[in-house]
Structure 1
Amino acid sequence: MSEAGLAFDGVSAAYRGATVLHEVDLTVDRGELLVVLGPSGAGKSTVLRVAAGLEPVTAGRVRIAGRDVTTARPGRRNVSMVFQSYALFPHLTVAENIAFGLEVRDTPRAVARERARTAAETVGCAGLLDRRPGQLSGGERQRVALARALVREPDVFLLDEPLSNLDLTLRVEMRAELRALHDRLGATMVHVTHDQTEALVLADRIAVLRDGRIEQVGTPEEIWRAPASTFVARFVGSPAMNLLPAGGPVHPTGAAPPATADDDLQLGFRPEAVTLDAAEGAAATVDRVEVVGEDAYAYLTLAGGQPVVARVPASRRPGRGSAVRVGVRWADVHVFHAGSGRRYRPS
């Protein structure tokens, strides 16, 4: 493993007396793009604010590039932060916005402006240097914000949902550019988002956060193929993973689910693992069907009342109200403890 660019060692943090991070252990390797993924209120932005020194810790320590910065002021941490709101000065030109952080640190103006021009070229906004933020589109403002972060040559880039204000087409374009920028620079980046697709596309690794605690850290493939809990299984995937009792009406083919002393298990399987023509499958009724291009999502109710979602070819979608037989292969099933929600691991 490479040297850590950023590390949280048992970090806890509070806001207005309430603990929002609980003993978080998290290491971001130097040159890695790690995405912190979670719902609103999970503590994602607090992770960035603690790293930047904008929020104090109540326990644990923070290290950047091998230095303990737990009590260091923000200006001594050598990090750059890109905000969701861009946070550009409206009265300054693009060139002045990009160079601002250097000039307030007494960098000679000519040097600051040259570095600003180079950073603008790197992110594709060199043609905008004489404009002001009010003359820019959302995508152009985001490029300026990235250039302003880049010009400081930080140890760590902290990106707080920087794409969320963009429309869908521009968001797809910008996340590709952001990934390419990371690969070109070899920079250490921590990117916060609630968008699972953004996380899966951008990340070297993903840290899934829930209620201020790390639920799972892994590569996008590990998060998708081996979710550590029912929370991860349901949060990553749209539509969400199906969850049913192990003793319920759906019996996967190919094997039987494991047994425990209290039989406290759930079976999880994604919509694409479901078949609707299984000869021995569980009886279900089609409530509605959503067509998305070549695919269709059939929302079903089993005889016992449990909901199931199946992904099928749009050309073979069932009709609303029709009766189907639900089947699933054992190879596509995940097993979880119903009580704790954690992944079942045979002893």
Structure 2
Amino acid sequence: MTLVLDGVRVTHGATEVLHGVDLAVARDELLVVLGPSGAGKSTLLRVVAGLQPLAAGRVAIGGRDVTRLRPGRRNVAMVFQTYALFPHLTAADNIAFGLIVRDTPKAEARERAHRAATVVGCAHLLDRRPGQLSGGERQRVALARALVREPDVFLLDEPLSNLDAELRVEMRAELKALHGRVGGMMLHVTHDQVEALVLGDRIAVLRAGRIEQVGTPDEIWRTPATTFVARFVGSPPMNLLPADGPLPGLASTGQVIGVRPAAVRLGADGVAATVERVEVVGEDAHAYLRLGEHPMVARIPAADRPAPGAQVRVAVREADVHVFDAVTGQRV
């Protein structure tokens, strides 16, 4: 069982939203589509769900071409950012709703709803209505509603973005564990790089309707394919400097070097720099430097942070340098 998007194009009038996207999700894989607002992430989900017509391309699920099939015949389930629960129904009825409208016997629908609720940890909430539930509880109900249908593909549209930071971490772990228990293909979209790196078996980085890179979290982090991926995945973002900039000899003319802030070393040797400001983040500090006309960020232990205005020296090991083409932004 696989999900395949082949040359998918979507247009809104004269505007092309998705530019010939090719993407495949393997059996029992959780693939995260990561990108900024406006990248086309939700449009991609709507294409798979059958809610968005195509200008070109095809969608196949399990080898079956579903491009022209109605949403109800695709056997996919979607979890929305806003939960989309019926406020007048109990959690049990919300979970079972999709089964009931498909003429599943009520007793069977109730039993399947209870099983799904047990899997996601909300069986004790089945008699409550959405207004009586917290954000995390409503999200569990929404997940159970998708799970109860036993779909071929789970589509998750930024399902954790409305939760507070602590609950988001908790639900992230539970979602990863849920996928480990039930398997299936999951296509999860988010703008949160940490969420993508933690959840994804693989990550597809989407920018302005085009796939920039597909790879494991480790590949995305260690070998970004473009300068966009290098800057988008990482906090603080990767430093990008011209080859003829303040760190010469690390790349050729017409190239750009990239250095993760954690790889920037402050010490007695190296290139002179001025500390413009320092941000302390727990045990780390982000030192914002100026090397001539070029800015650079170093992530260092908070205990070793220099004072703003201090003169320091910056060194980078050649092994820690990423090299990109200055025109295309592609990794060299």
- Map of 1:273 onto structure 2: 263
Partners of 1:327 and 1:105 lie apart in 2 by 65
- Map of 1:291 onto structure 2: 280
Corresponding residue SS for 2:315: strand
Amino acid at match of 1:320: P
Render the CA deviation track for 1:69-101: whole Å, top value 9, x for unaligned: 000000000000000000000000000000000
> Are 1:39 and 2:29 an aligned pair?
no
Render the CA deviation track for 1:39-79: whole Å, top value 9, x for unaligned: 00000000000000000111010001111000000000000
Aligned ranges for residues 145-164 of structure 1 at < 5 Å? 145-164=142-161
- Map of 2:22 onto structure 1: 25
Aligned ranges for residues 200-211 of structure 1 at < 5 Å? 200-211=197-208
- Structure 1 residues not aligned, in runs of 5+: none
Partners of 1:249 and 1:127 lie apart in 2 by 61
- Map of 2:313 onto structure 1: 325
Amino acid at match of 2:330: R
Corresponding residue SS for 1:101: helix
Amino acid at match of 1:316: D
Whether the 8 Å CA contact 2:10–2:18 is kept in 1: the answer is: yes
> Are 1:313 and 2:314 an aligned pair?
no
Corresponding residue SS for 2:267: coil
Render the CA deviation track for 1:195-227: whole Å, top value 9, x for unaligned: 000000000000000000000000000000000
> Are 1:97 and 2:94 an aligned pair?
yes
> Are 1:282 and 2:282 an aligned pair?
no
Whether the 8 Å CA contact 2:156–2:188 is kept in 1: the answer is: yes
Between the two proteins, the alignment pairs up a number of residues equal to 332
- Map of 2:225 onto structure 1: 228
- Map of 2:331 onto structure 1: 343
The one of 109, 114, 117 equivalent to 1:117 is 114
Shift of 1:278: 4.5
Amino acid at match of 2:250: P
Whether the 8 Å CA contact 2:251–2:257 is kept in 1: the answer is: no
Aligned ranges for residues 27-106 of structure 1 at < 5 Å? 27-106=24-103
Partners of 1:44 and 1:242 lie apart in 2 by 26
- Map of 1:301 onto structure 2: 290
Amino acid at match of 2:318: W
Shift of 1:258: 4.3
Partners of 1:231 and 1:278 lie apart in 2 by 32
Partners of 2:235 and 2:12 lie apart in 1 by 32
The one of 171, 176, 183 equivalent to 1:174 is 171
Aligned ranges for residues 211-222 of structure 1 at < 5 Å? 211-222=208-219
Whether the 8 Å CA contact 1:274–1:310 is kept in 2: the answer is: yes
> Are 1:15 and 2:12 an aligned pair?
yes
Shift of 1:19: 1.2
Partners of 1:185 and 1:113 lie apart in 2 by 19
Partners of 1:30 and 1:159 lie apart in 2 by 16
Whether the 8 Å CA contact 2:122–2:137 is kept in 1: the answer is: yes
Shift of 1:15: 2.4
Q: CA RMSD in A?
A: 0.8
Amino acid at match of 2:316: V
Partners of 2:331 and 2:283 lie apart in 1 by 32
Corresponding residue SS for 1:276: strand
Whether the 8 Å CA contact 1:278–1:327 is kept in 2: the answer is: no
Amino acid at match of 1:171: R
Q: Percent identity?
A: 73
Whether the 8 Å CA contact 2:275–2:309 is kept in 1: the answer is: yes
TM-score under structure 1 length normalisation: 0.94
Partners of 1:65 and 1:143 lie apart in 2 by 27
Whether the 8 Å CA contact 1:250–1:326 is kept in 2: the answer is: no
TM-score under structure 2 length normalisation: 0.99
